[in-house]
Structure formats: structure tokens, C-alpha cells
Amino acid sequence: MAKDNASASNEAAPADQNTQPGFGIEKLYVKDASIEVPNAPQIFTDRTAPQVSVELGNTGQKLDEGVYESAIKVTVTAKIGEKVAFLVEITQAGIFAVRNVPDENLEIIMGVTCPNILFPYAREAVSDMVSRAGFAPVLLNPINFEALFMQQKQQQAENAGAKPN
């Protein structure tokens, strides 16, 4: 009888694992990367510190049941006066396994968790590309994706409330 109980509990364990929420990184990769130095070589003779601006966006899509792609796009533009010193665009992406997660939590995973994982890789790629282009590395500050997500949700709610019926 002890064997029957042991085998019954072994059969129940895989079923429990199949219903438990799960998250995993399947693959991280650079989806797109480019750098432009439109005013080279003259831009290197100007010793003025460039003004750097950063734009960030993220996207997500379902690839298969329980498999999603998340990507963040970082655009860094440096200008000296009106001249563009360099322009870097990188899209860092990942494939993530997300299983047995309620739909209301999936949006948070795709908007906060995945970008938090991807950002350090994008940050490193930007710094490396800028250095290879002959400029001092750009070190992007950490980003609070949770605050950005909440801000975006609040803005969507305000926009939905402002629309006429």
C-alpha cells in the first residue's frame, strides 16, 4: 500500500507543476543595431561636450502558447550645437516562457519584468557602439520600468476618460 501512495503522489507532482505559474528566459538577442556619425571626421575636431538625449520604447508579442517576445528600443542622439555627433539605435529583445499566469499579470511581466532583464544588455551595447565610433562611452542611467508602466497606465486611463461617448 505504501507503493500505491508513493506512485500516486509522483503522478500528482507533474500535474501540479503544469498548473504552477512559470517564467523563464529562452533567448536574449540584439534584434537591430545601428550607429551613424554623419558629420565625421569634422565632428572629432570639436572639443565641445555633446548634448545627449535618450528615447526608450518597449514592445511585446505572443509567439506561441506561453512564449512571448519582448523588445526594448533605445535611441541615443548626441549633438554639438545643431550638428549630430552620433545617433545610436539598438533593439534588444528576448524570448520568454510565461506559463499559467493570469492575463492581468501578463501585461506587468511584459511591461516591467522583461524590460528590466533586457535593459542592462541594451545599455552595454549602446556604450560599446559609442566607444567603437570614437566617442566617450555613454552610460545610461538605470530606468524604473515599473514607474514608467504605471505612468503609461494612468495616461491611458485619463485618455479613455477624456474621450466622448
Q: How many CB atoms lie within 10 A of CB 113?
A: 18
What is the reported pTM?
0.81
CA 122 to chain centre: 8
What would the pLDDT profile of 54-111 be if each residue is shown by its tens digit?
A: 999 999 999 999 999 999 999 999 999 999 999 999 999 999 999 998 888 899 999 9
State the Cα–Cα distance between residues 5 and 27, nearest whole angstrom: 40
| Helix ranges (DSSP H) in 20-144 | 103-108, 114-132
What confidence score (pLDDT) does residue 54 get?
96
The amino acid at 97: A
Taken in order of first residue, the domains within the chain and their CATH numbers are: 21-138 (3.10.420.10)
What would the pLDDT profile of 16-66 be if each residue is shown by its tens digit?
A: 557 788 999 999 999 999 999 999 999 999 989 999 999 999 999 999 999
Lowest mean pLDDT among 7-11, 55-59, 66-70, 147-151: 7-11
